[in-house]
Structure 1
Amino acid sequence: MSAPELEIAPQKALRPPSSVMRLRRMGAMFPTRLSFLRTLMRDLSANNVQVERRVWRMDDAGFGHAVYSVSLGGYDYSLVAISTDLPPELRTDRVIATAWDSAYVLYDGIPSEAEIARIVASAPKQEAARFTERDLVLSRANKSVRLFQHVTDALKSGVQPDEAMVRDVGYLMRTTAVYGNGKFGIADRGHIAARPCLGGPFAAEMLTVWLIRGFTHDLAEHVGGAALDAKLKRHLGIGNSTGLGMAPFLVSHPRLLDSWMQVRETALARIAALPTLKSAQQAKILDLAARAGRHLNEWSVPDEIAAERIAQLQRDWPAVQEVLAVKLAMPEPISAILDAAEQWFEDTQELLIALLLEPFGDLIDGLTECMANPYGAELDPSMPIEDLKALIKRDWDWATALDFESKEETAQFWYVSEAKQEPRLGLRHEEDGAKLESPLDIARQVANLATALEGAQGITAELVLKRPDLRFAVRRVQTLAIAPYGEIRDNMIADRCLPIDMLRCKLSFFGAAKFDPKSDRWTRITLCQGAPLFDELASADDWWLPCFGE
């Protein structure tokens, strides 16, 4: 008897990488139900996870430590949270900081008193300390001083805090780092990669952030001496300040990026193939479109470029809703809507795509199991040179067409700072340091490879033996051949390269919303806003683009 055939969901053709993998479009992405936080919340709900606050040793001012534990997939995990008195002169979100309002470790298991004491002593030092394989994630956060003070003062006075302030700020604390994967001696990702619910990308980090968010609620209620209204608590997420340190990740992990984007694009192709929509699905999409409009009206930032993009979204959105109202009842409605969306700019298109994915969890949620990818780039030394040339012609025309003799195409260079071991971006024609350049000049390296291949014959091994400086570019070209969404198809060293686009792409996969750029190199965001509270996991799947009070 032959094995039963797997049932494969119908789908349309995927959008081409040449369109999807451009910085401008990647910088327009929104969180979706495929984002890591949403996936984690569904897993917590499915596992009926209960959060236990095992330790609470805080003084009246809110300084001390606490321990929260969860049982997930047969394993116990604990967040050890330490709150300290931070002098105003030491308060900064910059990477040069050496002190923070709070520090955290996600611990593998239930920590003993001795282990708690070790973490309480070490975690506030962050990079200056060292950790063990029982420590899975390391983080730190600073208060939103104005809102935290207002909330606690209001609670002490017997009233709830001002709703407008809660809505406008949206978090009591913001993290300035959430470290995983072996940094400073903590456990490597491989230690937990096979465990239920934590095998997905950044799942342990997202669990840490959600537990930190609950701790900030508890801390404010402890200091204020009263309970926050659940509606307000739900809107209080966790802020985050993210800069250049995150930007090169997508370039350095092409196989992983390809998996993330393939899942997202496959999900879109699946729903685009739906022949019709049920009336309940149509109503849900219209309801979500109205919610997105309210969310846009609550999203205000001082950055002029970002503010104009939000304003354009607000101007486009009534027309989007009109298109939805007309086309949802048509044959192949999602496909028709996507065709109509070509009239709008990238931000509107990507917001619409995120919305359209939302009602179809039964069709697309299983794809998230394909987001983890342990494989790296590999070099095939047996590939004929002619095949290598053909790959460059097929996939890299955008790179070989660039003029790397011009200052515009070579304006910037990436390097790693000696002081903090963090990625930085320099101006090549104005600053020293280009000799220490990191290999993020992918387009230039492939263009150089294409030139070197002119007239060459034989196999790849012969080429890289003669020209070891081309090895990186060869590996990159071969990797893109099997990972078509693994390459950002823009010049990373051109004057037009904006790191904020890379940050937004990655953060949208985390589940971030309300991007608040402070320059083209760093941004503030909000995570877990609208997410279920510790006692609300049964309703874990309806908080896309939350609006205040809903």
Structure 2
Amino acid sequence: MTTPAAILTSLRGDNALPLRPANQVMDLERLGSLHQSRLSFMRTLVRRIMKERWQITPAVFQLDKDGYGTVIYKINAPHGVFSFVLFSDYLSSEERNDRVIATKWDLTMALVEGEVDDVYLEKLRQNVPKQEAGRVDSRVFVLSRANRSARNFDYVVEQLAQGKQPDAERIAKVGYLYRTTAVYGSGKLGMADWEKVRSKFPDFARPFAGEMFVCLMLRNFSLLQAEHIAKHKSPENFAPFEPEIKRYFGIGNSTGLGMAPYLVNHPLLINQWVEMRELALARVRALGHIDDSIKQEFNCLIDRSYIHTAETETEDEWQTDNNQKVLQDLTSLKQHTNNGFSGWDELLQWSETNCSLQGQEMLVSIMLELYPELVDELEEFHNADEVLELDPLMPLQVLKQVIESRYDWALAIDFTAEGTRETCWYRSEEKMEPRLGSVADLEAKDKQMALGVGYAVRKCYNHLCEYMDEHADHTTARFMVAHPKMRGIVRRIQSMNRCIYGDIQANLLDRNILPMHLLRCKLAFFGVSKFDPRSRLWVRNTMFQGAPLLEDIGKPFNDDWFMPLAPKQQGVN
């Protein structure tokens, strides 16, 4: 298979278009404007499952009439056998809580290496429902939990029990039966770490593939459980889901600050994700042939994106305003292209002048959707070796030039101005989850995480300039001896200089920082939709809405679930 480097080289020929610059792409507000795309991890996982025809079947199905009990799915993937183990327990409405401080949930589940016997099942039963309070071993590599949707679950069960289908317009408002509140992996709570998963389990060796699979399986179980309860409630009247309605259900997700630091702490990996997306865009700009069929599909995707955005329900004023701008952008885009357009590059430039950031990035996602032959192979290159290497022999003149060119955005920030160093990111003692506080809180300040990359670069640059006043001809090693606390940021600066993207170009310590941009960026790479902020610190969203069902495996698959619509909805004029 062609490597990303070779593809990039081929694109940078005389007639090729360049990648978008880092100062544009890595702007925090733009990152917080991304949408799902063909390269989002949910899409790539489903393509793999459908292409390779994974065999996923219930090995244990022990549910009572109310849907409580134990279910184990056996997964036969090309490179191994796995088990998805799920425990369904009664939870009163008073105990149901989506916050990380919750201690009980409707469902708890684990993805496990190999088959599960009775002894190991009992071990899981004693620990998985406890989540953070329990402990598992390295056979487990994903742990999760979920709660029922108070607005949907009982209603849907009642409809099926009466032989009716759920109302599509109502489901459009809340497109799921369960909402997961955490999905853990990468060695937490005794689980297998990422290196073991990546090296031992090729089927899940892409970033977050295991976590996304658990959410997909949760979505499947939620539909199965609703039918199971409805059938026991009224066997004579029960009707199963119609396939179109069933596929329209996704799985809900509540995400808080827990994932925000990831984007800062894994810069080489984030660089890889962003570079593959930008490389896909560059390929479309350079090689995407436009004919009548592409124009027709383009118009259909504009319509679909418009309706999908219009169907997104949120009480958040900021997100409502953003959604309205996207609707206006899509209307303007369709009007602008009604009489044709000269090419994708021209259209992107037009969008940068006439559309909001979210509208611009919606256009990017639509463009990628049109050309699977140019885009899909890049899904194989989302991994990165996350080693930040220090170059002790680098002359200080070179190090100074690197900072001035790569981190000009950090040097442009006045960190002495009021409010620019007010925010403090720290971990709570109770759940070891990230929190947002103020440097005025001494307890929080003592536990703060090193997320202020821009400020660290500025401090390093100031020390470097002072040192070079007397030792301009020294190497980085000599500077490190004099300033050992600068080792970490120098290592990062030198390593990121080998990347095209990587560091988020924003001051995360600023008083007015909006963590929602960080959450949305990572969630867009996952492939979620229908963002519904509940505050500036956490957001609800929908996963796998419109995706194929387990019973669709082995059937013809056209990978057409981008921006899914409520069944029987029509396009816009």
TM-score (norm 2): 0.92
1:264 is displaced (CA, Å) by 0.3
Partner in structure 2 of residue 530 of structure 1: 546
Matched, 1:261 2:280: no
Give the match's secondary structure for 1:377.
Answer: coil
Give the match's secondary structure for 2:513.
Answer: coil
Matched, 1:18 2:23: yes
The more displaced of 67-76 and 180-189 is 67-76
Q: Percent identity?
A: 37
CA separation in 2, counterparts of 1:279 and 1:192? 45
Partner in structure 2 of residue 337 of structure 1: 347
Deviations 1:253-283 (A, max 9, x none): 0000000000000000010012632322222
Matched letter for residue 53 of structure 2? N
Aligned length: 543
Matched, 1:66 2:71: yes
Partner in structure 1 of residue 234 of structure 2: none
RMSD (Å) for aligned C-alpha atoms: 1.6
Is the Cα–Cα contact under 8 Å of residues 438 and 444 in structure 2 kept in the other structure?
no
Matched, 1:140 2:131: no
Give the match's secondary structure for 1:449.
Answer: helix
Matched, 1:539 2:554: no
Give the match's secondary structure for 2:55.
Answer: coil
From 248, 252, 263, give the equivalent of 2:261. Answer: 248
Compared with structure 1, are the counterparts of its residues 401 and 506 closer, same or farther at alpha carbon in structure 2 (3 Å cutoff)? Answer: same
Matched letter for residue 503 of structure 1? L
Matched, 1:306 2:319: yes
Matched, 1:36 2:52: no
Partner in structure 2 of residue 238 of structure 1: 251
Partner in structure 1 of residue 526 of structure 2: 510
Matched letter for residue 315 of structure 1? Q
The more displaced of 127-136 and 249-258 is 127-136
Partner in structure 1 of residue 190 of structure 2: 185
Partner in structure 1 of residue 431 of structure 2: 420
Partner in structure 1 of residue 235 of structure 2: none
Compared with structure 1, are the counterparts of its residues 42 and 231 closer, same or farther at alpha carbon in structure 2 (3 Å cutoff)? Answer: same
CA separation in 1, counterparts of 2:246 and 2:95? 28
Matched letter for residue 251 of structure 2? I
Matched letter for residue 533 of structure 1? L
| 1:405-444 alignment runs, 5 A limit | 405-429=416-440, 432-444=443-455
CA separation in 1, counterparts of 2:284 and 2:67? 49
1:14 is displaced (CA, Å) by 0.4
Matched, 1:52 2:57: yes
Give the match's secondary structure for 1:33.
Answer: coil
Deviations 1:400-449 (A, max 9, x none): 12222223211201111111111111022466521322111111111011
Partner in structure 2 of residue 371 of structure 1: 382
Deviations 1:223-249 (A, max 9, x none): 111412222211111101000111000
Compared with structure 1, are the counterparts of its residues 275 and 221 closer, same or farther at alpha carbon in structure 2 (3 Å cutoff)? Answer: closer
From 208, 219, 228, give the equivalent of 2:214. Answer: 208
Matched letter for residue 216 of structure 2? W
CA separation in 2, counterparts of 1:548 and 1:369? 31
Give the match's secondary structure for 2:259.
Answer: coil
Deviations 1:323-356 (A, max 9, x none): 333345x3xx111211111121101000010011
Matched, 1:494 2:510: yes
1:309 is displaced (CA, Å) by 0.7
CA separation in 2, counterparts of 1:98 and 1:222? 26
Give the match's secondary structure for 2:404.
Answer: helix
1:516 is displaced (CA, Å) by 0.5
| Unpaired stretches in structure 2, ≥5 consecutive residues | 232-237, 569-573
Deviations 1:51-109 (A, max 9, x none): 21111101111110101122112211221111100122221111101110100001112
TM-score (norm 1): 0.96
Partner in structure 1 of residue 366 of structure 2: 355
CA separation in 2, counterparts of 1:237 and 1:382? 53
Is the Cα–Cα contact under 8 Å of residues 531 and 540 in structure 1 kept in the other structure?
no
Compared with structure 1, are the counterparts of its residues 89 and 287 closer, same or farther at alpha carbon in structure 2 (3 Å cutoff)? Answer: same
Deviations 1:177-221 (A, max 9, x none): 111111101111222214433211111111111111100001101
Give the match's secondary structure for 2:203.
Answer: coil
Partner in structure 1 of residue 157 of structure 2: 152
Matched letter for residue 565 of structure 2? C
Partner in structure 1 of residue 395 of structure 2: 384
Deviations 1:369-425 (A, max 9, x none): 111112222221111111110001101111112222223211201111111111111
Deviations 1:278-329 (A, max 9, x none): 322222111111111111110121000110010111122111112333345x
Give the match's secondary structure for 2:530.
Answer: strand
1:116 is displaced (CA, Å) by 2.0
CA separation in 2, counterparts of 1:239 and 1:9? 41
From 404, 415, 418, give the equivalent of 1:404. Answer: 415
Is the Cα–Cα contact under 8 Å of residues 323 and 337 in structure 1 kept in the other structure?
no
1:154 is displaced (CA, Å) by 1.6
Deviations 1:440-488 (A, max 9, x none): 1111111011111114131111111221121122112112201231100
